[in-house]
């Protein structure tokens, strides 16, 4: 009997995740073509994603709710990019930091329209603002764990407070990507990855980079 009750819940969750991913891709495409989140109607979003208007409202209250869920999906991608370094941080290899920065920049590029919309709505939509701050805090928490482990291993500067250091460096990367990528060509990305790698490595590690 327990398995019978769990299956519909799992199926509904999988369906929701599929719809969210379709809507994320649709929003990325439409906003990349110049539409703003305020201009996009639910009908247009649903059509672009290949779902019905009714399906949209089964899972989302409105566009603000959709944007909050899309933001969660985007930050999953950003965190996975950061894990290219975090998961192997004990190797003390700046190439791992560079790999993560390159992947983070690529994720910002890929989801730039949604991230622009998130920044636009956060100041006047309380729920969107709260979600944005919460997602950034989760990334900072993950980074904090890397800093604490590195300090215990004697690799990261012991005088750095982990919480504040994680928050400052996460915001540095986030703001730099937000402010620069919309107006810069993709040829800028390699330069930015290199600069961010040097700044993050130099701020944290006692060992010189390569």
Residues 40 and 111 in one domain: no
List the domain range (segments joined by +) for residue 48.
1-60
Output phi, psi for 110, to 5 deg: -65, -40
Residues 93 and 38 in one domain: no
Query: How far apart, in whole angstroms, are the C-alpha atoms of residue 28 and residue 93?
Result: 34
Query: How far apart, in whole angstroms, are the C-alpha atoms of residue 67 and residue 145?
Result: 28
Residues 125 and 48 in one domain: no
Dump pLDDT digits (tens) for 123-157: 888 998 999 999 999 999 999 999 999 999 999 99
Residues 102 and 192 in one domain: yes
By mean pLDDT, which of 12-16, 151-155, 167-171, 189-193 is the weakest?
12-16
**CATH number for 6:** 1.10.10.60
Structural domains counted in the chain? 2
Query: How far apart, in whole angstroms, are the C-alpha atoms of residue 63 and residue 40?
Result: 9
Among 60, 78, 96, residue at a domain's last position: 60
Residues 93 and 140 in one domain: yes
Among 28, 60, 92, residue at a domain's last position: 60
CA dihedral 165, 69, 36, 124 (to 10 degrees): -60
pTM score above 0.75: yes
Residues 182 and 137 in one domain: yes
- Residue with more model confidence, 36 or 62: 62
Query: How far apart, in whole angstroms, are the C-alpha atoms of residue 144 and residue 127?
Result: 25
What pLDDT was estimated at residue 6? 53
């Amino acid at each position: 009997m327990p398995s019978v009750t769990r299956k519909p819940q799992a199926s509904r969750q999988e369906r929701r995740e599929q719809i969210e991913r379709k809507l994320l891709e649709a929003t990325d495409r439409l906003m990349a073509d110049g539409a703003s989140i305020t201009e996009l109607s639910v009908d247009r979003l649903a059509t672009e994603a290949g779902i019905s208007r009714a399906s949209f409202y089964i899972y989302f209250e409105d566009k603000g709710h959709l944007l909050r869920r899309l933001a969660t999906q985007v930050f999953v991608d950003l965190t996975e990019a950061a894990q290219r370094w975090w998961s192997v941080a004990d190797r003390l290899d700046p190439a791992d930091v560079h790999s993560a920065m390159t992947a983070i920049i690529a994720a910002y590029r890929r989801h730039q329209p949604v991230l622009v919309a998130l920044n636009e709505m956060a100041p006047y939509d309380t729920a969107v603002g709260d979600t944005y701050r919460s997602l950034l805090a989760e990334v900072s928490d993950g980074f904090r764990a890397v800093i604490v482990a590195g300090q215990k291993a004697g690799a990261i500067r012991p005088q750095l407070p982990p919480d504040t250091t994680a928050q400052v460096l996460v915001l540095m990367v986030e703001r730099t990507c937000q402010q620069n990528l919309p107006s810069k060509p993709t040829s800028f990305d390699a330069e930015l990855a290199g600069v961010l790698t040097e700044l993050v490595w130099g701020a944290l590690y006692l060992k010189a980079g390569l």
